[in-house]
Amino acid sequence: MEKTAFCVYSLKRKCRKMNQEERFKQAVRVTGAGLLVNLGLTIFKLFAGVLGNSAAMVADAVHSLSDFLTDLVVIFGFKIARKPVDKSHNYGHGKVETLSASLVGLMLFVVAGEIFYYGMQKILLVANGGSLEQPGMIALYAALLSIVSKELMYQYTIRQARKINSIALKANAWHHRSDAFSSVCTMAGVGGAIFLGGRWVVLDPVMAVILSLFIFKVGLKVSSSSINELIEASLDEKTLEKIKQIIRNTEGVRNFTNLKTRRIGSEIAVDVEIKVDSALNIGEADRVSLHVEHSLKKVFGPYTYVLVKAEPDVPEPPAHPEKTGRCLRHENGPGPEERESEE
C-alpha cells in the first residue's frame, strides 16, 4: 500500500515537472520570437527615424528597444520561476514571474517619460518660432511595417499566454500591442507632416506626445495587476464567487468561513475553513475536506494550492442568564438583596 502511494506521488511530481518544463519552453519560444522581431524593428525604425528626420519614429524606435529589453527580462523571469519547490521556497518560485511582469510595467513608464520629453522639446521649438524638417517616406514605411508585425506578435503572444496562463507573457503581449498602437500614432503624425507639409510638420512630435500618454496608461495597467499579486491581494470578484459556489455545492459542507485567496505565479491558492455535521468522525470530516480540494482543483487546475480545515457545525451556546445577571451585579456594585444580606 505504502509502495503504491509512493509511486502515485512520484508520478504526480514527474507529471508536474514535465508540465512546468513544457510551459517554460513554450513561454521562452514565444518570447524569443518577439525578441528577434523587436531587435530587427529597433534597428530599422531608428535608421528610418534618423534618416527620415522623424521625432515620432525615433520615439517609436526607443519603444521597440524597450520591448527588446523586456523580452530579456521575461525570459530571465521564466528561467527562475521554473525552479521546483525547495526548503527556502515552499510555494515554488512563481512570484518571480509576477516580478518580471512588474518590471515590464516599470520599463513602460520609463519609455513613456522619454518619448514625452522628446516630443515636447520639438513642440516647444515650433512654438518659439523654430522649424522642423519634413519627415521622409522611409519613416512612413517603417511605421506601416511596425504596425503589421507588432499586431501579429500581439495575437500570437496573447494566445499562448492564455494557453499557459502566464501574467508575464500577457504583460509582454500588451507591450507588443502598445508598440503597434504607437506606430499607428507615428504613421498618422509622419503622414500628416509629409502630405500636408508647412506648419503641419508639428504633427510628428504631437503624435509622439500622445503616444507617450498611451504607453503610460498601458504601463499603469500592467504594474497595478502585478503589484497586487506581489502584495498578496485577493483574487478578483468573479473568481472568488466561483470558488464560493464550488465550496457551497460540495456534499457535506454546511457552511464555510475565513476564505482567503491569492495568486502564486500562474497558480492560485485557497485557504478555507468549512463547517460539517458535528456527528461526523474525523475520517468522514477529512473526506469532505478532500472533496472540496478535488472540486477546486478540477476547475482551477491540478496544481492549485488548497488548504481546507473542517470544523463541526455547532451553534454557539447562548450566554447563561444567571451568570450574566451575576456579572452585571458585580460590575454595577452589589444589588439590593446582597446589601441586605451584608447588613
246 versus 118: the higher-pLDDT residue is: 246
Q: Which residues pair with 256 in a beta bridge?
A: 274
Q: Under a CB-based contact definition with an 8 Å cutoff, are residues 68 and 41 in contact?
A: no
Region 286-314 average pLDDT: 86
The model's pLDDT over 169-188, given as tens digits with 9 standing for 90+, comes to 887 788 788 778 778 877 88
Q: Under a CB-based contact definition with an 8 Å cutoff, are residues 171 and 222 in contact?
A: yes
Q: What proportion of the chain, given as a percentage, has pLDDT over 70? A: 76
pLDDT at residue 10 tops 60: no
Architecture of the domain whose range is 2-230: Up-down Bundle (1.20)
Residue 83 pLDDT class (50, 70, 90 cuts): low
Region 52-79 average pLDDT: 76
Residue 5 pLDDT class (50, 70, 90 cuts): very low
Provide the pLDDT for residue 244: 92
Distance (Å, whole) CA 293 – CA 281: 19
The model's pLDDT over 192-212, given as tens digits with 9 standing for 90+, comes to 888 877 777 788 778 778 878
Provide the pLDDT for residue 152: 93
Provide the pLDDT for residue 135: 81
Fold of 237-312: Alpha-Beta Plaits (3.30.70)
Provide the pLDDT for residue 6: 38
Residue 148 pLDDT class (50, 70, 90 cuts): very high
Provide the pLDDT for residue 334: 54
Region 302-326 average pLDDT: 70
User: Domain map of the chain by residue range?
Assistant: 2-230, 237-312
Residue 233 pLDDT class (50, 70, 90 cuts): low
109 versus 325: the higher-pLDDT residue is: 109
Provide the pLDDT for residue 265: 64
The model's pLDDT over 22-63, given as tens digits with 9 standing for 90+, comes to 777 788 888 888 889 889 988 998 888 888 887 778 877 877
86 versus 14: the higher-pLDDT residue is: 86
pLDDT at residue 7 tops 50: no
Range with top average pLDDT, 93-97, 158-162, 314-318: 158-162
For residues 208-223, one letter each, b for 16 or more C-beta atoms within 10 angstroms of the residue's C-beta and e for the rest, the string is bbbbbebbbebbeebb
pLDDT at residue 3 tops 60: no
Provide the pLDDT for residue 207: 79
Provide the pLDDT for residue 331: 46
Q: Which of 2-11, 132-141, 244-253 has the lowest mean pLDDT?
A: 2-11
Distance (Å, whole) CA 156 – CA 173: 8
